[in-house]
């Protein structure tokens, strides 16, 4: 046991030396996590869009239509940039994306309202940007609803009701919506936590896999296992320990400094968060180690791992419900550590979930960790045994141990 522990710490020091000498790995694990975490999160620093430009086609030119335009412009999400002469002009502005929507107030708008005949307000929306279009639609619905209630209240007051009576009659049934989490409904509060976790996973995958591929590319596995006292487990743990410690530190930085800097709520228990983070980093390291053991070029490893970023994010169900994905993709997503972790992480940090609320995700990560550990161990024994038979590692197979 003492011999194995000695080999483990020798490999740990050896890995630190490799990183200090290899600029590619150093860039990926020391610069990329910090740069990307600040850069991508900064994009959503303002959390949500404000003053989205809209234009108005006012065919009525009445006092009531001007009041409606003023109400639209006073909404925090909308900004009336001007009026256009007709439908074709408004459509052209939308095509050129000078505005994102056009409000059409019909001729006879005021007279129809005053005579209680009713009328329609039309809204043209650029729905190619669906998040923005949904917010425009929501904001316009709120403006029209409030404007409609004002008209009802004024009409009832003219008929002899006092203000309180008019309010009750105009709105006999009121809705009371309480947002339990992300009360401001912003993009930033939703996306930033997921982006930070994805950066952790992908930079860790690329770093550990490049290190393993480097061993194969330079033919240094013999040196690795000699210094590990020919212990497979000491070689794997010693080589992985540095990455676990480094990315555990990044997780602490992201979940404290970044959350505070970008005003992200954190309602969860810190002990549970870091326990889950450990269970998350462990299978990521194992999978990176295992996959890279089949590749003998650092560059190819980097390309493969970089290409996995978007699939990992989209398959996780974070941006699109898994239940709406094809069955095969749902199955594939269960083998990605990001999937169970981001599910548990957002529930813990944003909803204040406790240990018993995330037991399924914990078991999921434990299973992935066990699969990863076994896969890496037997893969390394196989690589050593077969490569030694080709004289790359003479007689090492006689000394392989746990």
DSSP output for 178-229: --SSSTT--HHHHHHHHHHHHHHHHHHHHHHHHHHHHHHHHT-HHHHHHHTT
| Under 8 Å between Cβ of 155 and 84 | no
Residue 369: Cβ-neighbour burial (10 angstroms; 0-12, 13-18, 19+): buried
Asked whether residue 87 is domain-assigned, the answer is: yes
Burial class (CB in 10 A: 0-12, 13-18, 19+), 234: buried
Query: What is the domain range of residue 357?
Result: 2-44+186-398
Residue 175 placed within a domain: no
Both 210 and 343 in one domain: the answer is yes
Look at residue 312 and tell me if it is in a domain: yes
Decide if 16 is inside a domain.
yes
In this structure, the answer to whether residues 209 and 155 fall within a common structural domain is: no
Say if residue 108 is in the same domain as residue 190. Answer: no
pLDDT the model gives residue 32: 93
How far apart are the C-alpha atoms of 295 and 292, rounded to whole Å? Answer: 5
- Same domain for 247 and 386, yes or no, is yes
Place 115 in a pLDDT band, splitting at 50, 70 and 90. confident
Phi and psi angles of residue 48, each rounded to the nearest 5 degrees, phi first? -145, 160
Q: What is the CATH classification number for the domain harbouring 157?
A: 3.40.1710.10
Q: What is the pLDDT of residues 53-107, one digit of tens each?
A: 999 999 998 999 999 999 999 988 899 998 888 888 888 898 888 999 999 998 9
Residues 125 and 219 in one domain: no
What digits encode the pLDDT tens for the residues 349-384?
Answer: 988 899 999 999 999 999 999 999 999 999 988 877
Whether residues 343 and 388 fall in one domain:
yes
> Can you give the pTM of this predicted structure?
0.81
In contact, 98 and 53? CB cutoff 8 Å: yes
Is residue 100 assigned to a domain? yes
Q: Are residues 66 and 154 in the same domain?
A: yes
User: Is residue 181 one of the residues assigned to a domain?
Assistant: no
**Do residues 250 and 135 both lie within one domain?**
no
Instruction: Dump pLDDT digits (tens) for 220-262.
Output: 877 888 887 878 888 888 889 999 999 999 999 999 999 999 8
Q: Are residues 280 and 191 in the same domain?
A: yes
Residue 33 has pLDDT above 70, yes or no: yes
Do residue 24 and residue 66 come from a single domain? no
Single out the residue in 120, 141, 170 at which a domain terminates.
170
Determine, yes or no, domain membership for 13. Answer: yes
Do both 286 and 341 map to the same domain? yes
Q: Are residues 320 and 255 in the same domain?
A: yes
- Of the candidates 330, 333, 284, which has an alpha carbon nearest to the alpha carbon of residue 313? 333
Domain count, the chain: 2
What is the Cα–Cα distance from 87 to 84, expressed in whole angstroms?
Answer: 8
**Residue at 177 is within a domain:** no
């Amino acid at each position: 046991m003492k011999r194995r522990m000695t080999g483990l710490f020798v490999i740990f020091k050896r890995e630190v030396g490799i990183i200090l000498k290899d600029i590619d790995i150093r860039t990926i694990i020391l610069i990329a996590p910090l740069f990307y975490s600040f850069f991508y999160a900064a994009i959503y620093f303002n959390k949500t869009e404000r003053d989205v430009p809209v234009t108005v086609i006012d065919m009525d030119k009445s006092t009531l239509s001007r009041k409606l335009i003023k109400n639209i412009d006073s909404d925090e999400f909308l900004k009336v940039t001007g009026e256009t002469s007709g439908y074709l002009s408004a459509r052209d502005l939308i095509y050129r994306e000078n505005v994102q929507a056009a409000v059409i107030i019909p001729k006879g708008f005021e007279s129809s309202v005053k005579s209680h005949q009713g009328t329609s307000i039309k809204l043209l929306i650029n729905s190619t940007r669906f998040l923005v279009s949904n917010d425009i639609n929501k904001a316009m619905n709120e403006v029209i609803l409030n404007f409609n209630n004002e008209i009802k209240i004024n009409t009832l007051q003219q008929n002899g009701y006092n203000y309180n009576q008019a309010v009750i009659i105009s709105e006999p049934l009121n809705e009371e919506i309480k947002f339990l989490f992300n009360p401001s409904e912003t993009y930033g509060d939703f996306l930033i936590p997921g982006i930070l976790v994805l950066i952790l996973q992908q930079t860790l995958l690329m770093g550990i896999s490049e290190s393993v591929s480097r061993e194969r590319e330079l033919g240094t596995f013999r040196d690795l296992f000699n210094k590990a006292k020919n212990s497979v487990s000491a070689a794997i743990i010693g080589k992985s320990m540095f990455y676990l410690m480094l990315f555990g530190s990044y997780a602490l930085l992201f979940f404290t400094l970044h959350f505070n800097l970008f005003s992200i709520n954190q309602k969860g228990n810190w002990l549970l968060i870091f326990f889950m983070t450990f269970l998350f980093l462990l299978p990521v390291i194992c999978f990176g180690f295992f996959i890279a053991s089949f590749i003998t070029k650092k560059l190819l490893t980097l390309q493969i791992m970089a290409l996995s970023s978007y699939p990992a994010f989209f398959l996780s169900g974070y941006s699109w419900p898994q239940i709406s994905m094809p069955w095969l993709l749902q199955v594939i997503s269960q083998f990605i550590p990001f999937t169970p972790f981001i599910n548990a992480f957002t529930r813990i940090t944003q909803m204040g979930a406790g240990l018993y609320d995330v037991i399924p995700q914990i078991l999921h990560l434990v299973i992935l960790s066990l699969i990863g550990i076994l896969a890496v161990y037997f893969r390394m024994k196989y690589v050593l045994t077969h490569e030694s038979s080709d004289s790359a590692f003479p007689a090492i197979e006689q000394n392989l141990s746990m």
